[in-house]
Structure 1
Amino acid sequence: MGLPPLLRGGFRPFFLGGAVWALVVVALWVCALSGAVTLPTAFDPLAWHRHEMLFGYLGAVIAGFLLTAIPNWTGRPPLAGAPLAALAVLWLAARFAILFSATIGSSIALALDVGFLLVLAAVAGREIVAAKNRNVPIVIVILLFAAASALDHTETLGLASTTGAGWRAGFALVLMLIGLIGGRIIPAFTRNWLMKQGRKHGLPAQPSRFDIGSLALTALALGGWTFAPDARLVAILLLGAGLLQAVRLSRWSGLSAARDPLVLILHIAYAWLPIGLLLLGASILSPAVPATSALHALAAGAMASMTLAVMTRATRGHTGYPLTADRWTVLIYSLVTFGAAVRVGSPLIPFDYMRVIELAGTLWGGAFLVFVLAYGPKLIGPRRDGQP
């Protein structure tokens, strides 16, 4: 008897599980914010919401992406069957352990949460080293992500006063992954689409020292923000990084590929990165710019939009569906973009704050709901073309 489709590739359980968990987290957070529920976690509600979207949801998406990319990098068989199921169960156990950590204990939650990331790093490292592949740095990033999660837990446990360095480090690592991976796939996918349309001029610029310099300044700025979030020098670095990332994006010919939603969403998602960096730098220099707007531009904007863009594209490609955006896919992109925009602007919108937050949560959460409904059957079912 063959493997169930859900366990034939890492993207299947982790993309689906991550999207469902994002829905749960947003719904519980909005309810907790309005006072409708009391969360049974040792984290305060804001810290739980932030940790679970960062290390829970994004941890799942990173796992799904990595476990799917590694066989392409190495030529080795993908993780599947019982080992994949065990890793997915470990991720899920960590989520419930953290949610109910006020009852079962914070130490168990920490062990399961960090343990999942360490096992993921071990699995990825084994495959990459065995194939003598050059992507060893991605394993280091996962280990640093695990360390950031552990640091966030220690503050909840009261073992250390890190003043938020753990979650900021996690933020910084994910944003650097967006900068690195986005810098590979966005111009490549854009170039491929334009060439299929017969375009020979005005193609995305090839990677150059400018890209390296942009990423280096972004890493320096985010590293500074992780450990000195209120420093004026950090603000200046963030503003500089935001400007360079905006120029970098402008070199990828996004408007020329606007007719293909699968390509356009990658450019829109990446645009949130320079917007968020600029807002973050400005928020340090001026109290008139809300820090929450900057953080949500980076999280609800860049992180959520980019992951949904990658999840939809990868799911279609690996389940035998054409790389075209149907109406449900376009709806996902529209909801996450408008939801992020409303959340970023919520401190400045002249309406009742909770109503605006609820609207943003409904739009943003709606994107994940549509993903689960439209892409869940693809992730659970067999490939459309009958291949394994």
Structure 2
Amino acid sequence: MAHAIPRLTYSGPALFSMGFRPFFLLAGLFAAIAVPLWLAMFTGAVTLRGPFDPVDWHIHEMLFGYTAAVIAGFLFTAVPNWTGRMPARGVPLALLAALWLAGRLAVAGVLGLDPVAVAVIDSAFLLAIGAMIGIEIVAGRNWRNLKVLVPVTLYAATNIAFHLGALSGAGTEGSRRAAFAVILFLVMLIGGRIIPSFTRNWLAAQRAARMPVPVNRFDGISLAVAAAGLLLWVAGPDSVATGVTLLAAAGLQLVRLSRWRGLAAWRSPLLLMLHLAYAALPVGLAVTGLAAFGLASPVAGYHLLGIGAIGGMTLAVMMRAAMGHTGRPLVAGRLLSLAFLLVLGAALIRVLAADTMGGLVLAAALWTAGFALFSLKVGPWLVTQRAGRKRPSGAAR
């Protein structure tokens, strides 16, 4: 059972009162800035002086910049619920956000550091996240959730490997696939918990007769096959074993998704977003599996998984978490629904028109617009007090 977060007095800025606030804000703004910047780098209009070439910069910053911020915000909000201890807030949280920002500036070459120093600064963020989460879980004796350190540690290791590959000239292909694999497994693991749970709650409120199938052995089997397929993909993306296992994993994840009754929740856009984003995962796995046989483009698989599954899922989770933890109704509204559809459209355009400059520009524009809308709508919630919170006695009106 989750513990209630302690409600002790906090008088600092609202932005640093809970972990999701600064990191979701940074993630949204960075997502809206990084892709246009990448497009400018791709066309030669902008040159960064960091340690990575333009393609590696783009991949690294999506995997370890944007996604790392979302994961940090999620974990620093979830862990206090698991442990019943005070969340990281105030100065420690601000310093963590500053460390993340320092990593982005260092990787972009803005700080003028040598590649080793860049690697140290950038790698320090995920290592700090893992250390702080581990300390909190152990201090709260919440041993059941100690296993979350495994994917976080692997995630941090893939970032270090990415830097080492670039530094040594060995390349970053293996480490980028490994990072994708860790993040996708987290999407499957966390998505498999929250999506059916949120759907069940909504359907119960609607007095529906049928509910999502509870987590059972089938979920474990589907996760195990997906993990095997991803490991094979990391080791050898073009092998027959990789293709067969990824296709099997795609089929199992599609069946898994069908058990969560997403179609019955079509009247709740905020809930439907989670189902649609998760649907991009089996499609992306299938395309990646076909790519192992030369029947599809590996780039298409990357973007279905990266934009559709990871981008869509993280955006939907940030929306819902921000609403719930800032006291807003769990209603997406037109603006946030449009933001999600724009990001989903970016995935489709990036795949269907991958070989055209026009398609690349349109996909970048859709992604940027989606996260810009998210930042404009949700940003003010993140920097202000929880809705409905009373002012302290004597506070200025």
TM-score bracket relative to the smaller structure: over 0.9
Report what 1:217 is aligned to: 225
Which of the numbers 198, 203, 206 marks the counterpart of 1:194? 203
Report what 2:327 is aligned to: 320
Q: Is the 8 A contact 1:19 1:372 kept in 2?
A: yes
Q: Is the 8 A contact 1:42 1:102 kept in 2?
A: no
1:347 positional shift: 2.8
RMSD: 1.4
Report what 1:87 is aligned to: 96
Report what 2:61 is aligned to: 52
The equivalences for 1:371-382 within 5 A come to 371-382=374-385
Q: Distance in 2 between matches of 1:163 and 1:44?
A: 11
Q: Distance in 1 between matches of 2:277 and 2:71?
A: 16
* One-letter amino acid of the counterpart of residue 248, structure 1: R
Q: Distance in 2 between matches of 1:237 and 1:207?
A: 22
Q: Is the 8 A contact 2:76 2:87 kept in 1?
A: yes
TM-score normalised by the chain length of structure 1: 0.96
The equivalences for 1:277-356 within 5 A come to 277-286=285-294, 288-347=295-354, 353-356=356-359
Report what 1:363 is aligned to: 366
Over 3 Å counting, the alpha-carbon distance change for 1:143 and 1:101 in structure 2 is farther
Q: Say which SS state the counterpart of residue 145 (structure 1) adopts.
A: helix
1:387 positional shift: 6.0
1:310 positional shift: 0.4
1:200 positional shift: 2.2
Listed as ranges, the gaps of 5+ residues in structure 2 are 1-9, 392-397
Which of the numbers 250, 266, 275 marks the counterpart of 1:267? 275
Q: Distance in 2 between matches of 1:339 and 1:161?
A: 31
Range with bigger deviation, 87-96 or 29-38:
29-38
Q: Distance in 1 between matches of 2:127 and 2:51?
A: 22
1:117-171 Cα distance to aligned partner (Å, 9 max, x none)? 111101100111111111111112111111100000011111x625511111110
Q: Distance in 2 between matches of 1:184 and 1:57?
A: 23
Please state if 1:240 is matched with 2:248.
Answer: yes
Q: Distance in 2 between matches of 1:56 and 1:48?
A: 10
Report what 1:8 is aligned to: 17
Q: Say which SS state the counterpart of residue 20 (structure 1) adopts.
A: helix
Which of the numbers 55, 59, 81 marks the counterpart of 1:72? 81
Q: Distance in 2 between matches of 1:357 and 1:294?
A: 15
1:49-88 Cα distance to aligned partner (Å, 9 max, x none)? 0000001110000000000001111111110000000111
- Identity fraction in percent: 46
TM-score normalised by the chain length of structure 2: 0.94
Q: Is the 8 A contact 1:40 1:102 kept in 2?
A: no
1:103 positional shift: 3.7
Q: Say which SS state the counterpart of residue 98 (structure 2) adopts.
A: helix
Q: Distance in 2 between matches of 1:387 and 1:281?
A: 54
Q: Say which SS state the counterpart of residue 104 (structure 1) adopts.
A: coil
Report what 1:36 is aligned to: 45
